[in-house]
Each structure stands twice: as structure tokens, then as C-alpha cells.
């Protein structure tokens, strides 16, 4: 393929599959210009975050293209949620192995389109390029928060409660299943865990409602222990969690009965739940928020003076978790 024909192929691809994703967003200029503009609402700060996902690292070569697209977008929307921000849109850089498979691109764009409707975002622009390597999707998400109110990792205070949304450890079990690190589970449980790995659920309703309630927030991407460690470090506090209070799905409980260690779930990544430090005065409002959003919020521990994250067993004694962090695969 000559450079010229390859370039025109790229333009056709953008016009056919990606320009429709920019519809309804005037600042995107129909993806026909070199740049887009975004006018933040008066009194709001722009919140910016970027994350790439790489074939063989964050997704499998035979994962459905629609779920690959959704994971790429959602990990970024999760970061915005953790900042208390409302998502506005995103920029996309799609790096594909040479010899673009148009069927793959079409399904990928369809996945994005479905999620744009679900989360109320539009494509502002991006780039496509060929590579001798593997598929890589880089997304920069753009959101907004009322001025000065972005949640950070840095505000946790001794005496705060520690909460998590949803359930913990499902994605790491889904990854184990896809890697065929066999453990025997009912089909419905297997499907739930694999979906949790492939298509995380960013807590986009909970995050923005935490402003004025939470002192600190993070999304659980590296593993609950590691991500609470980030809050502890930046806030200059310690965190204690009661391991038996950590919410688990029925599928995860079944996996534990089949011999998977609880510590693996506490340190496994990719859940994209929110971990929150909030004063005890916020308890009733957080529980009401769980009811309003339909997203469970569970109190799992507390912030203390000191450093690091300590996992406590039912008897209150520290337990050692097998791994503190998580490095994809
Ligand atoms: Mg994050």
C-alpha cells in the first residue's frame, strides 16, 4: 500500500466510523479540523485524564472489539468519577496493526457508540495510526467539576471511614478464568466475572455525588490494597481495613469456596470501583446515595494516624495479604 492510499484509507475510516461519534458536539467540528474546542460551563474546572490499554496487557487478542472499546473508554470515565467529575467527552488515539481489519474497526466504533449514549459523552477528536506491533488504544477523557471541588487522593483524615462501591475482586477472577487458571464455577458466575474484567462499570453517578461528602477518593484499578495505599501515602495517614467486611459477589464467594485466596481478590486489579474516605458524619448520606444510585456502598475500614494499609482479620489481628499490588499480566 502506498503512503498516499494508506492515508486516504485512514481518512475514509475516520469519516465512516468515527465522525458519527462526534455528532452533536459542536466543538468537535465533525472531526474535520486539526483540533477541537471545549467550552467549560461557567464556574467549572476542566478535569483531564488519560489511560491507554494494550493488547496482551489489558485485553486479549480475541476479546470482542466492542468490549475492548468500552474498556478503553470506561477506565478513563472511572478516573473522572473518582475525581467527582462529570464526563463531557474524549479524544481517541487508535494504533492498529498494519492491514486494518475493517470489520474489527466497525465493531469497535459500535461499542463506543453504545457507551457514548450510556455515559453522555462525545468524541472530540483523535488519531489513527498503523503499527508493526499490537493494538493500542489511548483515550484522554475530559470532564468538569464545580470550581475547586475536584476530589483527590490527598484529603483523608484520621477518624474517617473507608468505603467501597460495588464488589471487589471480580475482575481479577475474570482474568484468571480467561487465562484458564482453572477453578470450577457455575456458568453464570464465570460469565459475570469475565464481563466484570472485560467491561468495567465506572461509578459515574456515585462519583459526582461525593463532592462535599468525601475527603478523598480513588478508583480501584491496581487493586484495593494498592489503591488504598495511594490514598494513605498522599494523605499522609494509615488505613485499616477489616477484610471480612470487603463486599464480594456471589461468584467471588463461590471462587473462594473453590480455593481462591481472599488476599488475591484484595490485591487484584481492574475492578474500577471507587474507594472513598469520608467522615462518619457522612454515613447516612452515603447510604442514601447507595439507594438513589443502586450502587452498593460498603464501609470496610477506617483512616488512622500512621502509614500504609493494614488488613485486619475478624479477630482484629493484622493479616498478611499475598501480594500488595497488581501488575496486569
Ligand atoms: Mg485511577
CA of 219 to the centre of ligand 1 (A): 5
Chain-centre distance for alpha carbon 156: 21
pLDDT tens digits for 151-171? Answer: 999 999 999 999 999 999 999
Q: What is the pLDDT of residue 176?
A: 94
CA of 148 to the centre of ligand 1 (A): 19
CA-to-CA distance for 235 and 157, rounded, in angstroms? 7
Ligand 1 (single-atom ion) residues, CB below 5 Å = 79, 219, 221
CA of 133 to the centre of ligand 1 (A): 26
Q: What is the pLDDT of residue 15?
A: 84
CA of 316 to the centre of ligand 1 (A): 29
CA of 124 to the centre of ligand 1 (A): 22
CA of 12 to the centre of ligand 1 (A): 34
CA of 217 to the centre of ligand 1 (A): 9
CA of 273 to the centre of ligand 1 (A): 10
Measure Cα distances from 227 to 6, 59, 268 in Å: 43, 21, 11
Q: Which of 31, 266, 268, 5 is nearest to 127 (CA)?
A: 31
CA of 308 to the centre of ligand 1 (A): 18
CA of 327 to the centre of ligand 1 (A): 14
CA of 78 to the centre of ligand 1 (A): 7
CA-to-CA distance for 301 and 241, rounded, in angstroms? 4
CA of 91 to the centre of ligand 1 (A): 18
CA of 221 to the centre of ligand 1 (A): 6
CA of 218 to the centre of ligand 1 (A): 6
2 phi, psi to nearest 5 deg: -70, 160
Q: What is the pLDDT of residue 5?
A: 45
Taking only the tens of pLDDT, the chain with its 329 residues reads: 333 444 457 778 778 999 999 998 999 999 989 999 998 899 999 999 999 999 999 999 999 999 999 999 999 999 999 999 999 999 999 999 987 688 999 999 999 999 999 999 999 999 988 899 999 999 999 999 999 999 999 999 999 999 999 999 999 999 999 998 877 899 999 999 999 999 999 999 999 999 999 999 999 999 999 999 999 999 999 999 999 999 999 999 999 999 999 999 999 999 999 999 999 999 999 999 999 999 999 999 999 999 999 999 989 899 876 554 443 33
Q: Are 280 and 83 in contact (CB under 8 A)?
A: no
Give a three-class secondary structure readout of 64-83: CHHHHHHHHHHHHHHHHHHC
CA-to-CA distance for 276 and 219, rounded, in angstroms? 9
Q: What is the pLDDT of residue 319?
A: 86
Residue 149's SS3 state is: coil
CA of 26 to the centre of ligand 1 (A): 29
Q: What is the pLDDT of residue 58?
A: 92
CA of 79 to the centre of ligand 1 (A): 5
CA of 268 to the centre of ligand 1 (A): 14
Task: Write b or e for each residue in 76-95: b if 16 or more Cβ atoms lie within 10 A of its Cβ, otherwise e.
Answer: bbbbbbbbbbbbbbbbbbbb
- What angle (nearest 5°) sits at the alpha carbon of residue 325, between those of residues 319 and 329? 130
Q: What is the pLDDT of residue 322?
A: 55
Q: What is the pLDDT of residue 154?
A: 97
Task: Write b or e for each residue in 209-228: b if 16 or more Cβ atoms lie within 10 A of its Cβ, otherwise e.
Answer: bbbebbbbbbbbbbbbbbbb
CA of 270 to the centre of ligand 1 (A): 10
Amino acid at each position: 500500500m502506498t503512503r498516499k492510499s494508506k492515508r486516504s484509507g485512514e481518512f475514509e475510516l475516520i469519516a465512516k466510523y468515527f465522525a458519527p461519534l462526534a455528532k452533536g458536539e459542536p466543538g468537535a467540528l465533525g472531526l474535520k479540523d486539526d483540533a477541537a474546542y471545549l467550552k467549560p460551563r461557567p464556574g467549572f474546572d476542566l478535569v483531564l485524564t488519560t489511560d491507554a490499554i494494550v493488547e496482551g496487557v489489558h485485553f486479549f487478542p480475541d476479546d470482542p472489539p466492542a468490549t475492548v472499546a468500552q474498556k478503553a473508554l470506561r477506565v478513563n470515565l472511572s478516573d473522572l468519577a473518582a475525581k467527582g467529575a462529570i464526563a463531557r467527552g474524549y479524544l481517541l488515539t487508535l494504533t492498529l496493526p498494519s492491514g486494518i481489519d475493517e470489520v474489527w474497526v466497525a465493531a469497535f466504533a459500535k461499542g463506543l457508540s453504545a457507551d457514548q449514549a450510556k455515559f453522555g459523552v462525545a468524541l472530540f477528536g483523535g488519531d489513527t495510526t498503523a503499527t508493526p506491533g499490537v493494538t493500542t488504544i489511548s483515550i484522554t477523557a475530559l470532564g468538569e467539576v464545580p470550581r475547586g471541588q475536584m476530589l483527590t487522593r490527598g484529603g483523608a483524615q484520621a477518624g474517617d471511614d473507608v468505603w467501597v462501591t460495588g464488589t471487589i475482586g471480580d475482575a481479577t477472577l475474570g482474568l484468571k478464568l480467561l487465562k484458564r487458571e482453572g477453578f470450577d464455577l457455575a456458568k453464570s458466575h464465570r460469565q459475570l466475572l469475565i464481563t466484570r474484567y472485560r467491561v468495567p462499570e465506572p461509578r459515574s453517578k456515585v462519583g459526582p455525588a461525593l463532592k462535599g461528602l468525601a475527603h478523598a477518593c480513588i478508583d480501584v484499578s491496581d487493586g484495593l490494597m494498592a489503591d488504598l495505599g495511594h490514598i494513605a501515602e498522599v494523605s499522609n495517614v494509615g488505613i485499616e481495613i477489616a477484610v471480612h467486611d470487603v463486599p464480594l459477589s456471589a461468584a467471588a464467594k463461590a471462587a473462594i469456596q473453590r480455593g481462591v485466596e481472599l488476599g488475591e481478590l484484595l490485591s487484584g486489579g481492574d475492578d474500577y470501583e471507587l474507594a472513598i474516605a469520608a467522615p462518619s458524619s457522612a454515613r447516612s448520606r452515603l447510604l442514601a446515595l447507595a439507594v438513589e444510585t443502586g450502587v452498593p456502598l460498603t464501609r470496610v475500614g477506617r483512616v488512622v494516624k500512621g502509614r500504609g494499609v493494614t488488613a485486619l482479620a475478624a479477630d482484629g489481628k493484622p493479616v498478611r495479604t499475598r501480594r500488595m499490588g497488581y501488575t496486569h499480566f
